Amino acid sequence: MAYFIFQPNKPDTQGVLFKIAANDIDLNNLNINKNDYNIIKDTEFNFESVQLDTQEIISYTTTNTIVYKPVITISYNELSLDNYIKNFSKKITEFLNNNKNHLLYSIWESYNTQLISTDIKSITYPLNMSLEQYYKSQNLIVLHPLQLP
């Protein structure tokens, strides 16, 4: 079972998705007070579609049903992909610097190495998929910014 963590008391409001967690271990290690959020369980399929940016979350309802819509187009040029990687890596580095004893430290350290080692010059542009989809197509580890503790 996967989890989507939303700002509380904001059903039917766009942009309130806060974090995503693939499983109980990830959820329990997000560095959040779970009582301060609305946490909704959903399928691994829906989790992966959000993680890969093939589907986005619009909102959740008062009955805790998540409203999705397909992502129509994603397209990166070399500069925009480089910026995405640098911004994501910066967030991971901040997490690593402040959480040396975190249970998921080594996973995020490895992922950060993967990010900064990505040879963006070897990719054919436009890249009409998310970086996460690209990594999956290359059989590499896939993590999404919303999974960062």
53 and 104 belong to one structural domain: no
Asked if residue 136 is part of any domain, the answer here is yes
Domain boundary among 70, 102, 121: 70
39 and 83 share one domain: no
10 with 66, same domain: the answer is: yes
Task: State the pLDDT at residue 149.
Answer: 96
Q: Is the full-model pTM beyond 0.85? A: yes
Query: What confidence score (pLDDT) does residue 140 get?
Result: 97
Q: What is the pLDDT of residue 38?
A: 97
Helices H / strands E in the chain, number of each: 5, 5
Do 56 and 103 fall within a single domain? no
- Residues 13 and 65 grouped into a single domain: yes
Domain that holds residue 47: 2-70
Q: In this structure, what token pair is assigned to residue 25?
A: 């271990």
Does residue 90 belong to any structural domain of this protein?
yes
In a domain, 63, yes or no: yes
pLDDT tens, residue by residue, 26-61? 999 999 999 999 999 999 999 999 999 999 999 999
From 70, 93, 123, give the residue that closes a domain. Answer: 70
Q: In terms of domains, do 63 and 84 share one?
A: no
By percentage, how much of the chain surpasses pLDDT 90?
Answer: 99
Sign of the CA dihedral with 43 first, then 48, 49, and 53 last: positive
Is 55 among the domain residues?
A: yes
Coil, helix or strand at residue 69: strand
Residue-wise pLDDT tens digits, 128-139: 999 999 999 999
At 85, the pLDDT band (50, 70, 90 cuts) reads: very high
Tell whether 148 is covered by a domain: no
Where is the domain boundary, 13, 41, 70? 70
Domain count, the chain: 2
pLDDT band for position 18 (cuts 50, 70, 90): very high
